[in-house]
Amino acid sequence: MESTDWLLDSLIEKTGMSAEKITSLIDKKLSEFPALTRDAALRMLATENGVMPIRRSYHVGDVSEEMNHINLKASIKRKFEPRQINIKGTPSKIINLLLEDQGHTISAVVWDSKKVDYLIENASAGDEISIANAYSKKNKINDGIELHIGSNSAIKLIKTPDSKSENKPLFQRIADVKDDTKIYNLRCLLTRIFTNNLFLVKCDICKKRVVDKCEEHGDKALSKMLFLSCIVDDGLSSIKASFFDKTAKKLLAISAAESIDEKLRDLSFGMYELELVAVPNNFNNTVSLNVKDVKQADYSL
């Protein structure tokens, strides 16, 4: 197993035994303890021979040339463009990183194509990287110490808080809706539609809602606007949500039924799960939602 190769190296170094001798000792252990994995047998053998299966952690500043089994954590100061090179006649992709820790920097070269691809996809400057079982070498061209990360090494990225915030929950909870200067994203079930008053009358000149006619402009510029008052529920709490005009039409369009009446009935009893973009409306100490956009919940994420 790749993860314990370093242990095998340490055993060879420490005991002077050949790899073949160690393999035969592992086989003996396995015959004594058939439930053991090969890895576990190797660990057992290592411990018995004074090779502790605990690897030391280094800082960048500790790394000198020709060291093996280096574990360290550092931040990626710079990620270079990957390069294509030939290793023993085979074209391979490598990537260089400049790592920093406690004010020291070291350049690292990553050889293993899986790790190179992982870093191309995921790493960005500022991320922390945790490295296990790397080795160091002097770069013959510039005389600097380089950290080498190959197929026997392991790496893990630890994202910085900044990049983490992109992964914050997509949806807020109804119970947390209060600030009417904010826009909220909610995922909730439509549990009720009030169907007694489906239209609002508006005067298009003063853009105000009116009852029958505008006090100022009479019935010169009255228009009817679709209005749906609903209750939505996110499983923890419910809230009144108002859909106006285009947003109300968008809500109705979620139902495949033909007429408005059928759509309303379908939506009221269909247990539709919705994603809402809404602003709170505080009125008489009661918060309701003014829905700005609606769509059926999307589970493809």
DSSP letter for each residue of 249-268 = HHHHHHS--SSHHHHHHHHH
* Secondary structure of residue 201 in the 3-state scheme: strand
Q: What is the amino acid identity at position 190?
A: L
Residue 27 or 204 having the CB closest to Zn ion: 204
Choices 9-17, 114-122, 200-208, 240-248; region in contact with Zn ion by CB under 5 A: 200-208
The least distance separating Zn ion from the CB of residue 217, rounded to whole angstroms, comes to 4
Residue 38 or 217 having the CB closest to Zn ion: 217
93-122 positions binding Zn ion, by CB under 5 A? none
The least distance separating Zn ion from the CB of residue 219, rounded to whole angstroms, comes to 10
Q: With contact defined as beta carbons under 8 Å apart, do 116 and 108 qualify?
A: no
**C-beta atoms surrounding 170 within 10 Å:** 10
The least distance separating Zn ion from the CB of residue 213, rounded to whole angstroms, comes to 9
Three-class SS of 71-103: EEEEEEEEECCCEEEEECCEEEEEEEEEEEECC
Q: With contact defined as beta carbons under 8 Å apart, do 15 and 42 qualify?
A: no
Asked if 203 is part of the footprint of Zn ion (rule: CB under 5 A), the reply reads: yes
The least distance separating Zn ion from the CB of residue 225, rounded to whole angstroms, comes to 14
Residue 170 or 221 having the CB closest to Zn ion: 221
Choices 85-93, 196-204, 231-239, 275-283; region in contact with Zn ion by CB under 5 A: 196-204
Distance separating alpha carbons of residues 155 and 112, to the nearest angstrom: 11
DSSP state at residue 218 = B
Asked if 252 is part of the footprint of Zn ion (rule: CB under 5 A), the reply reads: no
Choices 103-111, 113-121, 204-212, 287-295; region in contact with Zn ion by CB under 5 A: 204-212
Residue 148 or 217 having the CB closest to Zn ion: 217
205-234 positions binding Zn ion, by CB under 5 A? 205-206, 214, 216-217
Residue 13 or 204 having the CB closest to Zn ion: 204
Residue 28 or 209 having the CB closest to Zn ion: 209
The least distance separating Zn ion from the CB of residue 259, rounded to whole angstroms, comes to 32
How big is the CA angle at 116 (ends 110 and 118), to the nearest 5 degrees? 130
The least distance separating Zn ion from the CB of residue 195, rounded to whole angstroms, comes to 28
Residue 110 or 214 having the CB closest to Zn ion: 214
Distance separating alpha carbons of residues 232 and 230, to the nearest angstrom: 6
The least distance separating Zn ion from the CB of residue 223, rounded to whole angstroms, comes to 11
Distance separating alpha carbons of residues 294 and 246, to the nearest angstrom: 10
Residue in 281, 176, 181 with CA at minimum distance from that of residue 236: 176
DSSP state at residue 221 = T
**Interface with Zn ion by CB under 5 A: which residues?**
203, 205-206, 214, 216-217
